[in-house]
């Protein structure tokens, strides 16, 4: 496909190591996992084994999400249940009463009534401390005080031995590697909580889903360097693994990927416990934002994410952030697709803010066969904008070597609007990734 006329490599090895690699999979329609519509959800897909954390953060802020090595950006305007990206500024988070209650219930369970009673006598709190704990909920203290390494263990005068809690609870951050304990816990969770057939999951499936993520650094979990990439936050009770929170750590944010736990402990609301702990982790690690994944306003079981306030929703057209309350919430109650930037522009021009920005595909034409540029997917770059990023000099990885797109035979003759041509395929990928990631990535097509 490419003319081989270069004696020198296009880029040096150090630059190559900093690239993210993407394989375009194209635009597809699929069954909706929420309302069960057979062709209800539409998205653009790509895959990758190498994505830099900073690049993934840019993609998340453009409406992308990943499931293992599969990356996807939904067409919110042409989907039955639009997936909105939301994020929380952790510095302004104030937990609700039910959040605080979940943390306190878990603390009492771990410590046990006997320890709590004896510790209150042997290590009494001052009047000021008691008053402060009643009037103010300190998130960081609350999630950490129950960890075994932070528990006070005064000597019991009767037994002459240190006072022990009812349970030894420990939480640590680990690399996203597979282990038998993690896999067994995952299968138990999927079969008991989600009622899935145990035969559905093999170790390779688990590894692909939750152990192959964005590029991780530093190499050691014990390093004081800011952690980036895909990590597992592991919860152990009396030495037994009882929960794993899968996290994507980006330069400015903590993204919650998945949480699975032992169903025997379901009553302790691990969804709330993990969210509180992950927000605390973000604060302590100087990550400004906490991303809880997609928010689907039309799905009742997803509404809980709005309870972690103040949440902000990513505008699918302008990529600005709007608070999930007031005007935005009211409009989401009335219609599935909302872009406040679009509504405001229409209002300023005297138009109908509820009118769609795209026309439906002709009845005799399959959307998947159309050029992405003709679908006018919200937030996707236009042909003119793609041309401005100099698509011809985007890197292409072929058999271990990098070349430029314009090294391909007949590259200049191809049309970006032809979805079956190499240039059309590459242009659609660029339009969805955005200019920043395009400049710092490469495409895999033929390997």
pLDDT digits (tens, 9 = 90+) for 100-145: 999 999 999 999 999 999 999 998 888 888 888 888 899 999 999 9
pLDDT at 126: 86
What is the fold, at CATH topology level, of the domain defined by 169-293? Aminopeptidase (3.40.630)
Inform me whether the pLDDT recorded for 196 exceeds 50: yes
User: What does the alpha-carbon distance between residue 174 and residue 246 come to, in Å, rounded to a whole number?
Assistant: 10
**Side-chain half-sphere exposure of 439, counting CA atoms within 13 A:** 9
pLDDT at 9: 75
Are residues 41 and 79 in contact, defined by beta-carbon separation less than 8 angstroms? Answer: yes
Are residues 174 and 221 in contact, defined by beta-carbon separation less than 8 angstroms? Answer: yes
Respond yes or no on whether the N-terminal peptide bond of residue 218 is cis (omega within 30° of 0): yes
Q: Which residues of 192-219 are buried (b: 16+ CB within 10 A; e: fewer)?
A: eeeeeeeeebeeeebbebbbebbbbeee
Supply the mean pLDDT for the chain: 92
Query: In the predicted model, what is the mean pLDDT of residues 78-89?
Result: 95
Nearest to 292 by CA among 250, 243, 258, 337: 258
Inform me whether the pLDDT recorded for 59 exceeds 80: yes
pLDDT at 35: 85
> Strand runs (DSSP E) across 269-335, as ranges?
289-295, 311-314, 321-323
pLDDT at 367: 83
Domain ranges of the chain: 13-82+357-444, 92-162, 169-293
Q: How confident is the model at residue 17 (pLDDT cuts 50, 70, 90)?
A: very high
| DSSP 8-state class, residue 286 | T
Inform me whether the pLDDT recorded for 6 exceeds 60: no
The dihedrals phi and psi of 405, each to the nearest 5 degrees, come to -55, -40
């Amino acid at each position: 496909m490419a003319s081989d006329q270069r004696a020198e490599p296009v880029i040096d090895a150090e630059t190559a190591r900093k690239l993210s690699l993407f394989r375009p999979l194209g635009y597809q329609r699929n069954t909706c996992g929420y309302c069960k519509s057979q062709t209800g959800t539409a998205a653009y897909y790509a895959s990758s084994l190498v994505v830099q954390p900073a690049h993934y953060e840019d993609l998340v802020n453009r409406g992308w999400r990943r499931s293992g090595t599969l990356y996807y950006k939904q067409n919110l305007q042409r989907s039955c249940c639009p997936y909105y990206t939301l994020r929380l500024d952790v510095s302004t988070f104030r937990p609700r009463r039910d959040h605080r209650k979940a943390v306190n219930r878990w603390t009492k369970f771990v410590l046990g009534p006997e320890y709590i009673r004896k510790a209150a006598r042997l290590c009494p709190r001052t009047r000021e401390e008691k008053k402060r704990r009643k009037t103010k909920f300190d998130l960081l203290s609350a999630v950490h005080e129950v960890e075994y390494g932070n528990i006070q263990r005064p000597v019991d005068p009767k037994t002459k031995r240190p006072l022990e809690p009812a349970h030894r609870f420990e939480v640590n951050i680990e690399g996203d590697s597979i282990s038998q304990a993690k896999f067994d816990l995952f299968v138990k969770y999927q079969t008991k909580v989600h009622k899935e057939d145990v035969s559905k999951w093999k170790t390779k499936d688990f590894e692909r889903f939750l152990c192959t993520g964005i590029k991780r650094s530093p190499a050691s979990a014990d390093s004081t360097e800011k952690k980036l990439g895909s990590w597992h936050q592991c919860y152990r009770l009396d030495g037994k693994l009882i929960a794993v929170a899968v996290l994507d750590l980006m330069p400015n944010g903590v993204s919650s990927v998945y949480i699975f736990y032992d169903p025997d402990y379901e009553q302790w609301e691990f969804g709330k416990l993990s969210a509180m702990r992950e927000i605390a982790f973000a604060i302590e690690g100087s990550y400004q934002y906490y991303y809880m994944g997609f928010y689907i306003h039309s799905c009742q079981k997803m509404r809980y994410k709005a309870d972690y306030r103040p949440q902000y929703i990513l505008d699918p057209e302008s990529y600005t952030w709007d608070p999930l309350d007031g005007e935005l919430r009211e409009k989401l109650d009335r219609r599935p697709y909302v872009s406040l930037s679009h509504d405001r522009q229409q209002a300023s021009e005297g138009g109908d803010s509820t009118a769609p920005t795209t026309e439906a595909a002709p009845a005799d034409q399959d959307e998947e066969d159309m050029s992405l540029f003709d679908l006018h997917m919200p937030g996707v770059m236009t042909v003119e904008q793609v041309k401005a990023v100099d698509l011809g000099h985007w890197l292409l990885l072929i058999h271990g070597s990098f070349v430029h797109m314009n090294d391909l035979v007949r590259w200049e003759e191809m049309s970006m609007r032809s979805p079956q041509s190499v240039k059309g395929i590459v242009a659609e990928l660029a339009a969805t990734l955005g200019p920043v990631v395009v400049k710092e990535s490469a495409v895999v097509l033929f390997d």
